[in-house]
Structure 1
Amino acid sequence: SANTAASAALIEGQFAAQNATGVYISEFGATTTELPYDWVEIFNSTNQTVDISGWGLSDDPSHPRKWQFPQGTTIGAGEYMGVFCSGLDTYEDNTFHTNFSISATGGESLTLCTPEGEIFCRVPVLQQYTDMSYGRIYGQDGYFYFTDTTPRAANAMDGYRDRAISPEISVAGGLYNSGETLSVELSAPDGGRIYYTLDCSDPDENSILYTGPITISSTTILRAVSVKDGSLTSLPATASYLYDLHHTLQIVSLVTDPDNLFSDEKGIYTMGPNATSTYPYGSLGQGANFWMDWERDAHVEIFALDGSTVISQGCGIKLHGQYSRAEEQKAFKVIARSQYGDNRFRASLFPNRDYTEYQSFLLRASGQDTAQTFMRDSIITSFAADLDEGHVMYQDTALCVVYLNGEYWGCYNMRERVNTISIAQWEGWTSDPENIDLVKANTNVMQGSNETYEELRDWVEANGIDTDEKLAYVAERIDIKNYLDYVILQIYFANTDLLNVKKYRSAEEDGLWRWVLFDTDGGMVYIDQNSVGRMLNPAGAGRDNLTYNKILRALLKNEKVRDYFLTRFGELLVKWSAENVLARIDERYLALKPEMEMHYSKWPNQSTWEEEVQAIREWAMKRQYILFSKGYIQGMDASDPNDDLTDEEMQHYFGEAMAIQQAFQEGVSNGTISTDLPG
């Protein structure tokens, strides 16, 4: 059942004619649950060792030597050699990593060439699927999908030419009422046999064989596949029929095989066999199942309030977050990939965006604020819309209710994700998102490089920014208005988690570093916090002084920057008056209020939601009063009294904001302004 060196040497005439070397690409695959990278298998079908030093391996026939085997590389007679297509471009411990990855969507070719660039092996890349490979079968023309992947070993003799087409469902999933009985018909466009399930499990040939219409009169999840001889089983078609729902928010239905969630072996939502004994039961990549970076296939449908379908398609789901993974209500990443049907969600998903397609989004339970207001982060980041000068990227929010496998799963904040694809979308960049540098915290490189920022950091520490020439040097490397707007918002809303920073740049665009506003659940908590001094602490900003701030401190030593910063701070405090912040809180409160009783009956971790909302309303009412009356703004850099603002400067920069705040406090005192929750 395997290709041997002898039999492979008899490879069919057409292929042998274009490959006199006897060495060829015999199999390749995308990332699997066992292998963390795309991979290619090279086979030497001859009876002698072949020196492949300088041979090229590429995903671009016009650039056949895109990656080359190092000098001294040989492949033995009848030997299978594995190469990771990871983009890492390394060779260590006899392991090859190319400088490219394989397109999961297909549409390209893999090639092998001589050191002179003559291509002698070319393999088409079609749509790739998780835990499957694509390659040759001895004695047969063309290429096949393999469900039994065999990297660095002989290929299976059983393969599939293509994939069956998913069944069509006659009645769309959606919102229905008691008394509505549906007769649902299934059809296979390519004539395959149809099998279906009604328990959310993945259908296969052991499921119910479709023979006629299916009657549905209560909440039901229908999943169906088409099975056709010689073809891979189709991707599942899924429809959620949700009955008698009465929500005031849009509804998201997530459907996946229950084992993908709750089995010890592969369930992403459960403790599993390796959980540690105490909270939070592990950490990223170890311990409980929910700490693993596992992706499972699923189906997502979004239904608008009028019952119309916004999206309905296959997707991947992962858990999202840090310690929130250990909570009962967990957050999801929902990811579009071509292997599930389409690599984009093609719809308008967020109220303040005009985008009509997304690669992924979050279903977020509100992080550390889940058991409190359920709104801190989404409210705070919404104020980034006021940062027009700095153009600070933030995650837009759409409130929703989630049903998981047909079961009510509570309220969620549907959020944009922060990744290089969404960054390019936000900036309107047309260059390749893979060439964007993205850095988390101070130096944690998520993609690309942190080199130019580290060079700037070292230069600023050595030279300062006290002249126009030095300022111009810095302005060629970071978007100063973006950074200062980001800082002002973090100061005002007193975010305690300042280390959770993301910054990005694209050398193919203007090359400037910019900051993203995200994960502000730690804001609007401590009303009395001197967040100005905390941000400008010479030892470092934030908790344990871990957040790097020397570039910020140096910028504010420059008189031009200092004047701009204070002017901008005053302008934003006018926009973020107590009245305006209260209005934003109350708007979110009224949107959530009809849903929260049902939500907390599902997740009864606390029963004081309205008290928690009132607490952030109190914060909003008093925040500017505290900043002004306690001298937090006037004191600026507590380490340098020379940086204190004079009374005249306070009036110049903050006079309007102080007057608005004083009038608000007087209105509260004399009863003309109500401090009660609305509604």
Structure 2
Amino acid sequence: NELVASNGSTLLDEDGDAPDWFELFNPGATSVDLQGWGLSDDRGEPFRWVIEELVLQPGEFRTLFASGKNRQPTETAPVNPALLPGLRVWFRADQVNPNDPTQVRQQGGNLFLRRWNNRIAGGVAATAANPSTEPLWVASGLGGLPALRFDGANDQLLLPRVIATNDFCLIAVFRTSQSHEIDPESTAGTGGTGGQHYLFGAQHGGDANGGSGLSVGSNGVSVYEHGSGYMPALAVGHLAPGTTPAVVAVNYQTRHPGLFLQGVRVSEGLSSPRAEVTAPIEIGAGAYGAFAGDLAEVLLFDRALTEAELLGLQRQLADRYGIPLYEPRHTNFRLDAGGERLILTRPDGTTADEVKFDAQLRDVSYGRQPDATGPFFFFAEPTPGASNTTPASGEALVAPTFSHPTGFHSEAFNLSLTTDTPGAEIRYTLDGSEPIATSRLSTGPLPITDRTGTPNGISMIPTVPGGAPPLGEVFKGWVIRARSFKAGALPSPTITGTFWVHPKGRERYPLPVVSLATAPANFFDPTLGIYVPGLAPNGNYSQRGTGWERPVHVELFETDGTLAFTQDGDVKIHGNTSQGFPIKGLDLDGTGGRGRRPFEYRLFPDRSRTEFEHFLLRPTGHDQMYAFMRDEMMQSLAAETGAESQAARACVVFVNGEYWGLHYLKEKEDAEFVGYYGDHPSDDVDYLEGYAAAKAGDTAHYDAMIAWLATADLRAPENYAHLQTLMEVPNYIDYKACEVFFYRWDIGNHRLWRPRTPEGRWRWLQFDNDVGWGGFWAEQPAWEFNMLAADLTPDGGLHGHASEVTTFLLRRLTESPEFRESFVNRFCDLLNSTFLPGHTRERINQWHDILAPGMAEHIQRWR
């Protein structure tokens, strides 16, 4: 009945992503059982995705995601909270005795709660500080059962003490009619101080610690942490419970909050930077906002629950209160925004419905009006899960065209913008922003000239406090963004092109060139800009989460002048401490809200990979003021061991037409990366970064391995043999040999992965060697530093990185005679091959020769 094949923000799924979606509608008078029906975008494969269980009631609209995630609801058995260990608080409004004056206070015909007794024997109770903060007890609140009604102003209950720290799980059943302000996920910032409605208030944790709190609204739920200087949202759920009853859960595992709503995980959350995170003690209000609505039940565990336990508990609560849990359905295919067909097939193979659509616009739906029976129109206001009653347009304009190819030109020329649509006009911009109806009107050819002599623009904006401007004029091109408009029609997509004029043409640069186009505010605005200090604590560039991603258009030009690709996407700052340097790493996402598809191009000629959801533009991290090649050169050496390493190409970057310096176009190490090189589905891996929670999968296997190693005697051959079933020891030896030889002192910053199979073993990835070989913060003279000894000594050396945790694995393994022999032999082999002085000098010279032609211009830009 309706579909969106280029979704940017019309509808978010339970992960907070914006995948394609379509809507099924039953216009009949009887229900339709869709079990066994097929959905596909290919007539030759009508059962590409089969509905497992779905009954469409008369007049019902049902939205499905065409995300490629391949998910269907699974039956979850309810779990009784009393059977799970660690339950410390269990409040139920239906267990309040309305005749007990110690529990309730009667005023007129109303009952106000004084004390909420804990169902756990010996457990603490929640009490109101005074009569003005007592919530109303209502006999029929949620699902016909009693609930506490909070007024959104003064009502609040307090626990006498903190119940849990760092690891805990909080679950509640609530209903609210108020929306709350949704802040971006971040580990810093002051977002949680206005517009929030705290079902559980966040206690101030002081300078080092943080208190956790939960704000809820009809439009989503968010976890905040309160400490000195900031109050960020570490987990944000965009799934909207609306004004119906909902069950929410916050699951902290080693200071990392996961967020669940209506039976599904809605946020993986971000690891807290605070030393300790405490569970809330305030119910119904916090320092920066109060909850207005009904609360029926609260459970608090002093440990993190497994996902199975969490889902079972949510099912138990949903059954008790008659709450329909969210049942997202995701097909195993996506819709092509360029146009294709969508087919619904009955179990007997006959076609029930089919729609063929042409190129689609971002955030514009294509649907029938009237529902089910009418022709298809375009809707600027999509209505997922509801009738198509918003204004419809029968025409969607196509993008205008350029008269000349984008890229480098040796002579000036006049650029014409044209459209084949009668009555349409073309609007354009020159600053990187997308055209709107009031942008410049194209009335004739645009002169594209050599911009030498044009004053610097955005390159004069400081990107760090006290940042120096370029030394002289930077080289510039023209970024033209154009769009067609016509009364009564939907505006066209935007066409974007970068044009440079220089006597040398494409030979101006011997490297690939990447051009980024975005509204200047996305990078440089004090509030929105991700590339500047701005107004956020520790700099806008230090913020994290989807709220700090910005739309961008990306063009890649090869050295022969070929336009490799031109595509919309999202961009965010990449890196940790290096983000505070003037030139910053960028993470480009082709599958974000703007692009909706991966970058499909062979970015690295020496590798076979042709599809990238992400790639990086990295100015070498901590090495940007030194050799500008450490990580890339060392990774190219490490690759000779067979370890997974990031491919990299030096390139030149432009932002909105202004020269932005040398970067490395680089693979991003993530689940997609290890899935490709490990020849294993990326959605079925455990992928860990540092010593925090997993970025994909979980840490259960790794935690079990470390726990076993804590007591195992690796001198016993059978134990060492068992270890080799848990991790790939030769890979780990190569990883550590490179780490030692490179003097990569940042040993706490490691990445590892395994397939989520019974025989899946851990492998370590080579990355982030920018501090190696005497670079940033190295002990001098670096060639005399005993890195192996430091890697084995948990004394706080290596600038605090040599801890009990980070050195544990190597220390334990070296207790095995077999490991020691293998390590020494392999290190000697590498010293006589990959690590030979002549070989490494040759590799250094290779990278030097690539960088040298452009280094002077880069230094003038980022002096």
TM-score, scaled to structure 1: 0.69
> Is there any run of 5+ residues in structure 2 with no aligned partner, and where?
27-34, 40-48, 55-71, 79-141, 145-174, 177-241, 247-260, 268-306, 345-351, 451-476
The 1:182–1:109 alpha-carbon spacing in structure 2 relative to 1, beyond 3 Å, is closer
Match status 1:251 vs 2:513: yes
Match of 2:808 in 1: 550
**How far did residue 580 of structure 1 move?**
2.2
Residue aligned with 2:770, SS: coil
After superposition, the C-alpha distances for 1:175-211 in whole angstroms (9 at most, x for unaligned) are 112x332443433589965332233220122224445
Equivalent residues of 1:424, 1:433 under 8 A apart? yes
* Cα separation, 2, equivalents of 1:515 and 1:129: 42
TM alignment of 1:419-498, pairs within 5 A: 419-427=670-678, 429=679, 431-498=680-747
The 1:215–1:544 alpha-carbon spacing in structure 2 relative to 1, beyond 3 Å, is closer
> Which protein is richer in helix relative to its size?
1
Q: Partner letter of residue 694 of structure 2?
A: V
Equivalent residues of 1:128, 1:339 under 8 A apart? no
* Cα separation, 2, equivalents of 1:468 and 1:587: 45
Residue aligned with 2:660, SS: strand
Match of 2:416 in 1: 184
Equivalent residues of 2:587, 2:616 under 8 A apart? yes
Residue 275 of structure 1 is aligned with which of 518, 522, 536?
Answer: 536
After superposition, the C-alpha distances for 1:287-333 in whole angstroms (9 at most, x for unaligned) are xxxx8752222222222233222222222222211222232212211
Equivalent residues of 1:169, 1:187 under 8 A apart? no
* Cα separation, 2, equivalents of 1:102 and 1:126: 20
**How far did residue 449 of structure 1 move?**
0.9
Match status 1:602 vs 2:851: no
* Cα separation, 2, equivalents of 1:494 and 1:123: 60
After superposition, the C-alpha distances for 1:478-521 in whole angstroms (9 at most, x for unaligned) are 11111111111001111121111111111259511111111121
Question: In angstroms, what is the RMSD of aligned CA positions?
Answer: 4.7
Equivalent residues of 1:284, 1:292 under 8 A apart? no
Match status 1:502 vs 2:747: no
TM alignment of 1:508-657, pairs within 5 A: 508=757, 511-525=760-774, 526=778, 527=782, 528-537=784-793, 542=798, 543-546=800-803, 547-574=805-832, 575-604=834-863
Equivalent residues of 1:362, 1:417 under 8 A apart? yes
* Cα separation, 2, equivalents of 1:144 and 1:366: 49
* Cα separation, 1, equivalents of 2:585 and 2:674: 21
**How far did residue 403 of structure 1 move?**
0.9
* Cα separation, 2, equivalents of 1:397 and 1:384: 13
* Stretch deviating more after TM superposition (349-358 or 234-243): 349-358
Residue 658 of structure 2 is aligned with which of 407, 412, 420?
Answer: 407
Residue aligned with 2:809, SS: helix
TM alignment of 1:45-444, pairs within 5 A: 61-64=50-53, 66-67=72-73, 91=314, 105-106=334-335, 141=374, 157-158=390-391, 164-177=397-410, 179-188=411-420, 193-210=425-442, 213-218=445-450, 219-227=477-485, 232-244=490-502, 246-272=508-534, 274-276=535-537, 283-285=542-544, 293-337=547-591, 340=594, 343-387=597-641, 391-427=642-678, 429=679, 431-444=680-693
Equivalent residues of 2:367, 2:378 under 8 A apart? yes
Match of 1:643 in 2: none
Match of 1:668 in 2: none
Equivalent residues of 2:416, 2:446 under 8 A apart? yes
* Cα separation, 2, equivalents of 1:161 and 1:463: 71
Equivalent residues of 2:3, 2:23 under 8 A apart? yes
* Stretch deviating more after TM superposition (184-193 or 584-593): 184-193
The 1:96–1:460 alpha-carbon spacing in structure 2 relative to 1, beyond 3 Å, is same
Match of 2:209 in 1: none
* Cα separation, 1, equivalents of 2:335 and 2:736: 43
The 1:579–1:68 alpha-carbon spacing in structure 2 relative to 1, beyond 3 Å, is closer
* Cα separation, 1, equivalents of 2:6 and 2:389: 13
* Cα separation, 2, equivalents of 1:265 and 1:330: 18
* Cα separation, 2, equivalents of 1:133 and 1:508: 40
TM-score, scaled to structure 2: 0.55
* Cα separation, 2, equivalents of 1:492 and 1:312: 41
Match status 1:37 vs 2:37: no
* Cα separation, 1, equivalents of 2:831 and 2:571: 40
After superposition, the C-alpha distances for 1:41-93 in whole angstroms (9 at most, x for unaligned) are 99999xxxxxxxxx99x9964223632698898999xx876988757785599
The 1:532–1:156 alpha-carbon spacing in structure 2 relative to 1, beyond 3 Å, is farther
Q: Partner letter of residue 562 of structure 1?
A: R
After superposition, the C-alpha distances for 1:207-253 in whole angstroms (9 at most, x for unaligned) are 24445544423432221223466764333111111122622322111
Give the length in aligned residue pairs.
555
The 1:443–1:173 alpha-carbon spacing in structure 2 relative to 1, beyond 3 Å, is same
* Cα separation, 2, equivalents of 1:562 and 1:420: 31
> Which protein is richer in strand relative to its size?
2
**How far did residue 583 of structure 1 move?**
2.2
The 1:43–1:570 alpha-carbon spacing in structure 2 relative to 1, beyond 3 Å, is closer
**How far did residue 254 of structure 1 move?**
1.0
The 1:479–1:232 alpha-carbon spacing in structure 2 relative to 1, beyond 3 Å, is farther
> Is there any run of 5+ residues in structure 1 with no aligned partner, and where?
1-14, 16-23, 46-54, 112-119, 286-290, 605-679
Compare relative contact order (CA 8 Å, sep 6+) and give the higher one, 1 or 2.
2
Equivalent residues of 1:333, 1:362 under 8 A apart? yes
Equivalent residues of 1:336, 1:345 under 8 A apart? yes
* Cα separation, 1, equivalents of 2:599 and 2:760: 29
* Cα separation, 2, equivalents of 1:257 and 1:578: 48
**How far did residue 168 of structure 1 move?**
3.1
The 1:401–1:122 alpha-carbon spacing in structure 2 relative to 1, beyond 3 Å, is same
Equivalent residues of 1:25, 1:43 under 8 A apart? no
* Cα separation, 2, equivalents of 1:582 and 1:313: 39
Equivalent residues of 2:10, 2:382 under 8 A apart? no
After superposition, the C-alpha distances for 1:364-389 in whole angstroms (9 at most, x for unaligned) are 112122222211111121111221xx
* Cα separation, 2, equivalents of 1:593 and 1:27: 45
* Cα separation, 1, equivalents of 2:547 and 2:343: 29
* Cα separation, 2, equivalents of 1:458 and 1:434: 26
